Amino acid sequence: MHKITMLAKLSKLHKDYYKDCIDLYNRIKGLTSSRTILILVFGSVALLFFITNFKFNKEYNLIIDPGHGGANVFQKDGKIVKNERWDPVKGKYLSYYLTGMEADTYHEHLVMLELGKKVKAYLDLTQSFWGWQRFEDILRVFSKANNGNKGNKFERITLKAKLTRKDSWNHRYEKADKIHINNDYRLYDYPDERARLRHGRLSFINHHRPSLVVSLHMTPAGKGNEGGMAGVLAPGFRSYDLVRRILLKEEKMKEWKKSYWNGKVLDSNKKAGWKQFELMNADSWGYFHGYRSNKKGNKVNFNAARGIRHNLVSWAYKESDNWAKDYRPNQAGPYALKYRDFEAKGKFWDRERSQAESWRREGGPKLYGGDNHYATDELLRFVQHGVRILRPAMREKKKIGKIHFPFASSYALPIYVNAIVAFLEIGYLNRKRDRELIIGEMDAVAKSLAVGIYSLYAGLKIEALPDGTYLDDSKSKVNESDDGYTPKGEALDLEKYGDYFKSSVD
């Protein structure tokens, strides 16, 4: 009995299948209707149009780097342990982990992580056809066209952004009493639990081969500083070498006095009252020898070890994997601790003297700081300009703080990656007005940065603000910035670098 039912079922299935086949045949037959022919013809024309007009978008790799993310590691006795800058010569960490700024309940690393994620989300829109439509809508709020393009046209480019981190240490619900808590947040390479050397943030960035790195930070404002925003720059070889040669009496002090960097060097210890030349000199010792110097610049400060930093990164300019065995600080050469005995020899120093590094860090459209300075300043201007376009309430006077002169020092990020580095102190975390901008209007800030990043690659025609004025028309020009607040909208000239951005790793 059971068998018969099964057979009946199978035969019904067979019948259904046969019926489906007939239906399909009839449908195909029906395709010859005039409506279908019309659709086919239109489809072919559209396809032909697509094929003949199709151009591959230019694609760019870039990095969004929300600063910090790690923790202070405490010993049992409550003391903080050094946990950054692994030095294979000494077999220990040279520095404390830089956890970033804190003010009230606000943490720089958390705020910058949120901002970084938002900027990336907007840039990701450029990666798909429908996303691009949305991105173009945002561009249209800012501008009518690319620089040089007529009409309502924006060059389609694809921006492949990567974040240097997706969380902070305290998202992981672990105690900060183990040295490995900072494994994903260090700048320099470090040994893991099994003593294998792992990539820090600088190596990670270089391995992504970006053409642009946007690093997001907030900084503390000292007494009398009402806040605002500022860039962070690292001078190039020629400026540090100038200082070195002045100390060796091969160059005159007046050459430093003429330098654009004079007046911009970060004063990391204001109480000590060091002059700009003395600060620059201590930086240059750190840059050349791995230790900062005393105030006079005639002695190494052994308490201020910076490490041979280009060897603390996995990239094409690391001398060798066994460099620590060749470290001879008492001999003439690239590791000499005596100024006179120092020789800038080797892969890294050749890179430092190269044209590409000069373009990145010296001279350029802003007269000093090279393309890094231009990109940094341009993005800060995009925030100033963009937030006022997007949020009418922010157009009121004094709602947004000014752009200060950049901080200049031998910062690691702008030196040890082959990419244009826009290092932004986008606000002062301990100033309420800056928090109202960066936290309160985060979406508008993120959109402005994303549009600014697009403009650095493709250029953008900058329009007046909705009231018909430009920021720089303002009578009350309170800024210290050398030439105003309105973005230039000029794209960076990346072509001139050739393969440089890709060549930092083998």
Q: Which is nearer to Zn ion, 70 or 88 (CB)?
A: 70
Q: Are 346 and 334 in contact (CB under 8 A)?
A: yes
Q: Which is nearer to Zn ion, 88 or 406 (CB)?
A: 406
Rounded to a whole number of angstroms, the minimum distance from the CB of residue 101 to Zn ion is 6
Burial class (CB in 10 A: 0-12, 13-18, 19+), 267: middle
Q: Which is nearer to Zn ion, 312 or 426 (CB)?
A: 426
Number of other CB atoms surrounding residue 25 within 10 Å: 10
Rounded to a whole number of angstroms, the minimum distance from the CB of residue 100 to Zn ion is 4
Rounded to a whole number of angstroms, the minimum distance from the CB of residue 218 to Zn ion is 7
Rounded to a whole number of angstroms, the minimum distance from the CB of residue 425 to Zn ion is 7
Rounded to a whole number of angstroms, the minimum distance from the CB of residue 207 to Zn ion is 23
Number of other CB atoms surrounding residue 209 within 10 Å: 17
Q: Are 116 and 65 in contact (CB under 8 A)?
A: yes
List the structure tokens of 3. 């068998």
Q: Which is nearer to Zn ion, 62 or 111 (CB)?
A: 111
For 431, phi then psi, to 5°, come to -120, 125
Structural element, H or E, at residue 36: helix 34-53
Calpha distance 241→230 (Å, rounded): 26
- Please tell me what DSSP assigns to residue 210: -
Q: What is the dihedral of CA 384, 430, 415, 356, to 10 degrees?
A: 10
Q: Which is nearer to Zn ion, 371 or 425 (CB)?
A: 425
Q: Which is nearer to Zn ion, 217 or 385 (CB)?
A: 217
SS3 content of the chain, % helix, strand, coil (to 5): 40, 15, 45
The residue sitting closest to Zn ion, measured at its beta carbon, is 217
Calpha distance 182→200 (Å, rounded): 10
Q: What are the helix (H) ranges across 190-236?
A: 201-207
- Please tell me what DSSP assigns to residue 57: P
Rounded to a whole number of angstroms, the minimum distance from the CB of residue 52 to Zn ion is 50
Footprint of Zn ion on this chain (CB under 5 A)? 67, 100, 217
Q: Which is nearer to Zn ion, 100 or 231 (CB)?
A: 100
Rounded to a whole number of angstroms, the minimum distance from the CB of residue 232 to Zn ion is 9
List the structure tokens of 301. 């400060």
Q: Are 96 and 80 in contact (CB under 8 A)?
A: yes
Give me the sheet containing 212-219, strands edge to edge. Answer: 157-163, 58-66, 212-219, 420-428, 230-233, 407-408
Give the closest residue to 276 by CA, choosing from 226, 235, 305, 314.
235
- Please tell me what DSSP assigns to residue 421: E
Q: What is the DSSP string of 128-147?
A: SHHHHHHHHHHHHHH-SS-T
Rounded to a whole number of angstroms, the minimum distance from the CB of residue 108 to Zn ion is 5
List Cβ neighbours of 314 (8 Å cut-off, separation of 6 or more). 189, 197, 199, 203, 206, 207, 505
Rounded to a whole number of angstroms, the minimum distance from the CB of residue 67 to Zn ion is 4
Q: Which is nearer to Zn ion, 219 or 284 (CB)?
A: 219
Rounded to a whole number of angstroms, the minimum distance from the CB of residue 110 to Zn ion is 12
Q: Which is nearer to Zn ion, 68 or 388 (CB)?
A: 68
Calpha distance 401→413 (Å, rounded): 25
Which residue shows structure tokens 């001139």? 496
Q: Which is nearer to Zn ion, 394 or 424 (CB)?
A: 424
Q: Which is nearer to Zn ion, 230 or 491 (CB)?
A: 230
List Cβ neighbours of 184 (8 Å cut-off, separation of 6 or more). 69, 70, 165
For 279, phi then psi, to 5°, come to -65, -45
Rounded to a whole number of angstroms, the minimum distance from the CB of residue 176 to Zn ion is 18
Calpha distance 186→170 (Å, rounded): 15
Rounded to a whole number of angstroms, the minimum distance from the CB of residue 69 to Zn ion is 10
Rounded to a whole number of angstroms, the minimum distance from the CB of residue 185 to Zn ion is 12
